[in-house]
Amino acid sequence: MAKQTKTNTKTTGNNTNDVEGKILKILEENARVSDETIADMVEISKNEVKKTIDDLKNNGIIMGFKSIINWKKLNKEKISSILQIKVIPQEREGFAKFCKEISMDSRVKDVFVVTGDYDVHIYIEAENMDEISEFVTAKIATKKGVIGTNTHIVMKEFKRNGAKLFEEENKREIISI
């Protein structure tokens, strides 16, 4: 069966075309899907898929590919924490300077400026509680403009980055005899 080829126009600005959008949705769900499989799903050639993905990477739309690891299954569980931080915004920079500085720490996985009682939410992973404590007291509380923190220790994860971290129970159907 001959493969139908669709025109794949370049990304302009922040808009993506239909083909790029489909490819991005596929990769967002599973970044390990082969170019050949994507080509079949989107109905374009494998070379067009490769070129589109390369363009998306070069334009900073695809920023990387990561694996979601369930460390608990390897008995190497990490301690995760969600920090809520009240920060006095800096003149002409708002919260950006604080957030960029904190983002440089390898333990920091996510940083968000949010609405509500706190201004910034940070998700961190550490090897143990002492490391979380050190991070909060030495890295956060001492920063200029920080006026309050609230630390939450994650007790159990069920879903992270769209991936379920639990196994679904096998449900048996009840059959009448």
Domain count, the chain: 2
Does some domain include residue 88?
A: yes
Q: Is residue 17 exposed (0-12), middle (13-18) or buried (19+ Cβ within 10 Å)? A: middle
Span 164-177, average pLDDT: 72
Rounded to whole angstroms, how far apart are CA atoms 58 and 51? Answer: 10
Q: Clarify whether residues 29 and 97 are in a common domain.
A: no
11-20, 64-73, 85-94 — which one is most confidently predicted on average?
85-94
Q: Clarify whether residues 113 and 148 are in a common domain.
A: yes
Does some domain include residue 163?
A: no
Q: Is the pLDDT of residue 9 over 60?
A: no
Does some domain include residue 110?
A: yes
Q: Clarify whether residues 133 and 94 are in a common domain.
A: yes
Q: Clarify whether residues 29 and 54 are in a common domain.
A: yes
Does some domain include residue 9?
A: no
Q: What's 106's domain CATH number?
A: 3.30.70.920
pTM: 0.69
Buried b (16+ CB within 10 A) or exposed e, 147-174: eebebeeeeeeeeeeeeebeeeeeeeee
Q: Clarify whether residues 147 and 92 are in a common domain.
A: yes
Q: Which domain holds residue 145?
A: 71-156
**CA geometry: angle 74, 76, 79, nearest 5 deg:** 135
Tens of pLDDT, residues 43-79 = 999 999 999 999 999 999 988 887 877 777 787 878 9
Q: How confident is the model at residue 173 (pLDDT cuts 50, 70, 90)?
A: low
Tens of pLDDT, residues 102-157 = 999 999 999 999 999 999 999 999 999 999 999 999 999 999 899 999 999 999 88
Does some domain include residue 2?
A: no
Q: Is the pLDDT of residue 16 over 60?
A: no
Q: Which of 54, 57, 55, 24 is nearest to 38 (CA)?
A: 24
Q: Clarify whether residues 144 and 79 are in a common domain.
A: yes
